[in-house]
A = this chain, B = another copy of it.
Amino acid sequence: MLNEDTYDIARDCGECPIRHRAVCARCEADELEQLDQIKYYRNFEAGQTVTWAGDKMDFVGSVVSGIATLTQTMEDGRTQMVGLLLPSDFVGRPGRRTAAYDVVATTDLVMCCFRKQPFEDMMNRTPHIAQRLLEMTLDELDAAREWMLVLGRKTAREKIASLLSIIGRRDAALHMVGREGPMVFDLPLTREAMADYLGLTLETVSRQISALKKDGVIVLEGKRHVTIPDFNRLLDEAGDDSDGGLLA
């Protein structure tokens, strides 16, 4: 299972769906050309592990499509998700030889990879890449801090509502859907993965989702297909300021 990843033929950066959001977003045509030289695609199946915490990691890359999770595990098996990687998100840390976290493909996943050394060399020559990476890292830091508030201070119901609002918002951003009308999306995570994200048990996740459904905050079709009739109501349940968020 581990070595099932296949190596695609390279695709054109110009057609890349994440072209304007990934590390390469600020690159000029000639810089893109250079990246093109060292890039390669890798596919992972749902459930497959991309990297194991502590293992040597000789590449970095961007999620092109699909979803992956970043998790940390204690010796006794308790696990906490520390990041949710969506298309355009960057994986790996320049300047470090080993992976800090487990990265697991939650859905089928396509990544645009660069061998670490050439990428680092190029980063040193190309301020546009370093600039963009700094910007992305600062955004991730903000997201992590936002999540610390969720983990430390919110109730189980608020945690679920927070997760739903984040997924809904990101999904809307990705599909460039207009603001009006109900928000509709599929949950990309199992109940267990949600629990790992939220510092809850899967039973509590299930119960709170049922409760939100009973109260009409969300509408469920099957176990994964979610409709949010009133997004501000959801934000309210999440304990967030119900303004502000609309323009992110």
B153 close to A82 (CB less than 8 A): no
Interfacial residues of chain A within 148-178, with CB under 8 A of chain B in the complex: 148-149, 151-153
Out of B83, B101, B198, name the residue touching A152 (CB < 8 Å): B198
Out of B75, B76, B83, B148, name the residue touching A147 (CB < 8 Å): B148
Chain B's nearest CB lies how many Å from the CB of A201?
A: 11
A204 in the interface, Cβ–Cβ < 8 Å?
no
Interfacial residues of chain A within 53-95, with CB under 8 A of chain B in the complex: 70, 72, 74-76, 78-80, 82-83, 93, 95
* A interface, over-half SS: helix
B148 close to A144 (CB less than 8 A): yes
Chain B residues lying within 8 Å of A144, measured Cβ to Cβ, are 141, 144-145, 148
Q: How many A residues have CB within 8 A of the partner chain?
A: 39
Chain B residues lying within 8 Å of A138, measured Cβ to Cβ, are 93, 95, 137
A241 in the interface, Cβ–Cβ < 8 Å?
yes
Out of B95, B134, B140, B239, name the residue touching A130 (CB < 8 Å): B134
A148 to B239, CA, bound (A): 19
Interfacial residues of chain A within 110-139, with CB under 8 A of chain B in the complex: 124, 127, 130-131, 133-135, 137-138
Q: Which residues of A contact B (CB under 8 A)?
A: 70, 72, 74-76, 78-80, 82-83, 93, 95, 100-101, 124, 127, 130-131, 133-135, 137-138, 140-142, 144-149, 151-153, 198-199, 239, 241
Q: List 9 A-B contacts (CB under 8 A).
A: A72-B146, A72-B148, A75-B239, A76-B239, A78-B153, A100-B145, A101-B145, A137-B138, A151-B152
